[in-house]
Amino acid sequence: MHIGTKVVVGKGLPADDRTRALVPPIYLAAVYTFETAQDGADLFLGKKEGYVYTRLQNPTLKFLEEKIAFLEGGEAAATFGSGMAAISTTILALCNSGDNIIVSEPIYGGTFALLGNLLPRWGIEVRWAKAKDFPNDIKNKNLIDEHTKLFLTETPANPTIDIVDLEATAKFAHEHGIPVAVDTTFATFYVQRPIELGVDIVIYSATKYIGGHSDAVGGMVVSSKKLMEQIKDKTCVDLGGIMAPQTAYLFLRGIQTLVVRMDRQQENALEVARYLETKNEVSVVYYPWLESHPQYELAKKQMKGGSGMLAFILKDGKEAGKRFLDALNLCQVAVSLGAVNTLIEHPASMTHSTYSEEDLAKAGIDSGLIRMSIGIENIDDIFADLENGFKAI
Ligand SMILES: Cc1ncc(COP(=O)(O)O)c(C=O)c1O
């Protein structure tokens, strides 16, 4: 089956064996009863399969976990209350106090805050290497030691659209026995295939392309069964950051249209990127499938499309950017991404306001950078709205 079919039917239909329901039901039950006391004890010991309590497992969450593991090509998956819960749980599952992790920069502002504010309090050190020069920058800076427990990457990177070479990173990390995690929120299993490139852990903010409609917050992780035991059974269950079954249902529904949505979003995004390049007011456009992207060759090799995310810089800087954003009507000034609506934002004052000015400069995030998440609207209407922005500056 092609991926466009797999998203619709999963491993096969009907979705629910018991009732032959076409779509998976939402199991709201927090609690499941035991037939006998011994039955309960066996379930807790893992001698028997079944349900106990939704924080441990829930049938609707399991539907989603099985589906995303299948689509991603991984052995096992876990669902979380948000993308941040997925990221923090993964790190805490693999690191102890005294360990360090190597992270690609730039990275999403929320992740940056977790890494900078909380991890040091828990004794976990963060070492930075350039996303666009991963893994060479790790070698050059000699960052690995015996306490390095994880490489955490994000590609395309939020918000600069830098690309991490996943295959080279996985190869290098494995030579040192270190697992690699990638936040693939901007690309999804449709646009890039991290596990096939050797990556060990795939992380999502499902809030974005998986849901696709800006109406659900969640996170997911896909990995081997062995790593998942550590991430889910030994960490997520105790930290408690699980997804609600109602939310899992929205993601199961969202996944079914992901391929059609992303086809349109990528098509629109490439057109918008090309259009922005023709504008005198724009100094630079970052889009992975634009020939001018510094990592175009790698992006073409690693990604099956450019995704719907792009960024650009206006020649006249921040103030011009404000006028541009305020003049838009169709494109909504908002954070988040991956939705059917086109969203536009200013990372330095919004999604990446957790970075100081120095941090922004070090991570290569221009203070005037504007980030766009292109939706599925008719392209002519998007162009007409962007023209409003250009007139205003
Ligand atoms: C790349 C990336 N990873 C993780 C997150 C965090 O996800 P959530 O908001 O679902 O916690 C975001 C949010 O914008 C993101 O852009």
Give the nearest ligand 1 atom to 111 CA: 4
CA distance 341 to 261: 11
What angle is formed at CA 272 by the lines to CA 3 and CA 205, rounded to 5 degrees?
Answer: 45
Domain boundary assignment for the chain: 11-256, 258-392
pLDDT tens, per residue, the chain with 393 residues: 999 999 999 998 888 888 999 999 999 999 999 999 999 999 999 999 999 999 999 999 999 999 999 999 999 999 999 999 999 999 999 999 999 999 999 999 999 999 999 999 999 999 999 999 999 999 999 999 999 999 999 999 999 999 999 999 999 999 999 999 999 999 999 999 999 999 999 999 999 999 999 999 999 999 999 999 999 999 999 999 999 999 999 999 999 999 999 999 999 999 999 999 999 999 999 999 999 999 999 999 999 999 999 999 999 988 999 999 999 999 999 999 999 999 999 999 999 999 999 999 999 999 999 999 999 999 999 999 999 999 999
Catalytic residue positions, numbered: 55, 108, 183, 208
Sign (positive or negative) of CA dihedral 262, 265, 270, 273: negative
Regarding the beta carbon of 82 and ligand 1, being less than 6 Å apart is answered yes
Q: Which of 90, 158, 350 to mutate to test the pocket of ligand 1 (most atoms within 8 A of CB)?
A: 158
Ligand 1, atom 3: closest residue by C-alpha = 205
Within 8 A by CB and 6+ apart from 54, the residues are 29, 30, 31, 61, 242, 245
How far does the centroid of ligand 1 lie from the alpha carbon of residue 183, in Å? Answer: 9
What number does CATH give the domain 11-256?
3.40.640.10
Q: How far is the CA of 108 from the centre of ligand 1 (A)?
A: 7
CB-based burial label for 68 (10 Å; 0-12, 13-18, 19+): buried
pLDDT at residue 124 in the model: 98
Region 258-392: CATH code: 3.90.1150.10
Ligand 1 near 108 CB (within 6 A): yes
pLDDT value at residue 16: 86
pTM to 2 decimal places:
0.98
